Structure 1
Amino acid sequence: MDIQERLLAKATKFKTSYYVIRGSSKGNTVMVTAGVHGDERANILSAKKLMRMLQNDILRINQGTLIIVPIVNQNAYKRRIRGIPDLNRTFPRKPNEAARHPLSAALFRLAAEFQPAWYIDLHEARGFSKVNPKVLGQTLIANPKSGAIPLVKQIVARMNRSIAKKSTHFSVRLRKLPGSGRTAAHRLLHSKAITVETSCNLPVSVRVNYQIKILRNILNEAGLIKDDDLVGSQQSKAATF
């Protein structure tokens, strides 16, 4: 397994680190982004934890390539704000259309270079979707007709079996969000694109472990890792990853 650190948008004030992790043989490419919004904490911690697991050989990429951008929007993260403008509305919406921000342009160029089979965008939201369908906390989101939908449904079912409190269960959402990284990857790169939204009303440690567990499911499905321990039997078990 080979791990390389590189810089995204390195000639600009938006520069940020990303990592390319290659297995020993060819396979699918998975791209994971976090920190698109600077006021969301657990997704950044999750991406950093995944990197530590790889660097410490706790988790190994057997085949294929994993790209991780732990903090996309460094400027927004330093100020702990969502971002002005909202970066997740600035990605290209049509073929040959330019992104509306230098950082989303750089990130999309990176995705276009690697052509990921799976594009995973980690986020957080308030509330619980099982209690209030209008909120996005505890959801996995894919575009309608996406090839990611079967796995999204499978992961939600797996996660919910390990969560005792039904009000904090995950939901599946199928929706377009023009200008988002997910929809750009789905429409323009034909990636199986998923947005992960844990609820910021839960403890940080629980949110991080949910996101890590979801990522492990996706990496396993994509063939990058072999993981036989994907589903816990209790909510407390989910917090031990």
Structure 2
Amino acid sequence: MLVTRHVLAASSPYAAPYYIVRGTNPGPVMMITSGVHGNETASMAAAQKLADDCIAGRYVIHRGTLIIVPRVNQQAYAREIRGKPDLNRTFPRRKSGKAKHPLAAAVFRLARAHQPDWWLDLHEANGLSQLSPRVLGQTLITNPGSSSVAICRKIIERMNRSIPVHKHHFNLKRHELPGSARTAAARLLSAKSVTVETCWSLKRAVRIRYQTEIVHHFLREAGMS
């Protein structure tokens, strides 16, 4: 396994480090982004932990290529804000279309260069989806008709078996969000793209653990680890 560090949008105000983890055997490509919204810190910590664990050899990718961008929106993170404009509304909407923000454009150029089979976008949200269908906390979200649905259901079942408090259980949601990384990846790259949402009301350490466990489940399902 080989891990290399790179910089996205280098020599620009949006520069952000990212990592490419190459397994010893050929296989699928998975892209993991986090910090598209700068105040969703547990998801960023989980993504950085995965990169650090790969670098240290504590977690091994046996097959394929893993691309991790742990903190996409550095400027929003520094200000502890979601970000203005909302970066997750600025990704390309059509094959002939362009991203509406230089940082979204840089992220999507990276994706086009590697053509990921999977794209996980790690986020956090208000509210528990077990208590209200209108909120996104504790959900996996994918586009309608996505081939990732069956695997999402399997991972949710595994996660929920390990979570003793029922209101903290995960749910599956299916909807398109034009301009989001998830929908752009599904529409334009034909990737199995999933948004992972943990709930802000849970302890930060718990949210990091849930994000980490979900990513590990997806990597195993993809046959990469």
Return the TM-score normalized by structure 2.
Answer: 0.99
Unmatched segments (≥5 aa) in structure 1: 226-241
DSSP-derived class of the 2:26 partner: strand
- Provide the rounded CA distance (Å) in 2 between the counterparts of 1:217 and 1:167: 21
Q: Give the match for residue 74 of structure 2.
A: 74
Percent identity at matched positions?
A: 49
CA-CA distance at 1:51 after TM superposition: 1.2
Structure 2: distance between partners of 1:68 and 1:5: 10
Say whether residues 1:60 and 2:60 are aligned partners.
yes
Q: Deviations over 1:88-129 (max 9, x none)?
A: 000000111000000000000100110000000000001100
How far apart are 1:28 and its partner, in Å? 0.3
Deviation at 1:11, TM superposition (A): 2.6
Q: Output the CA distance in 2 between the equivalents of 1:12 and 1:179.
A: 22
- Within-5 A mapping of 1:40-189: 40-189=40-189
Q: Secondary structure at 1:97's aligned position in 2?
A: coil
CA displacement at 1:78 relative to structure 2: 0.2
Tell me the amino acid that sits aligned with residue 103 of structure 2.
L
Unaligned stretches of 5+ in structure 2? Answer: none
User: Once the two structures are superposed, what CA deviation does each residue of 1:131-161 show, in whole Å capped at 9, x if it has no partner?
Assistant: 0111100000000000111111111111111
CA distance in 1, matches of 2:109, 2:204: 32
Aligned Cα root-mean-square deviation (Å):
0.6
What CA distance in whole angstroms lies between the structure 2 residues aligned with 1:42 and 1:219?
A: 19
> Which residue number in structure 2 is paired with residue 216 of structure 1?
216
Aligned residue for 1:236? none
Residue 58 of structure 1, CA deviation? 1.1
- Supply the AA of the counterpart residue of 2:88: N
Matching of residue 35 in structure 1 with residue 39 in structure 2: no
Cα distance between partner residues in 1 of 2:224 and 2:61: 5
**What CA distance in whole angstroms lies between the structure 2 residues aligned with 1:196 and 1:115?**
20
Q: For residues 209 and 113 of structure 1, what CA distance do their matches in structure 2 show? A: 30
* Aligned twin of 1:8: 8
Given residue 168 of structure 2, which amino acid in structure 1 is its aligned partner?
T
After TM superposition, the score normalised by the length of structure 1 is 0.92
1:122 maps to amino acid? L
Greater than 4 Å deviation, 4+ residue runs: none
AA aligned to 1:110 is: L
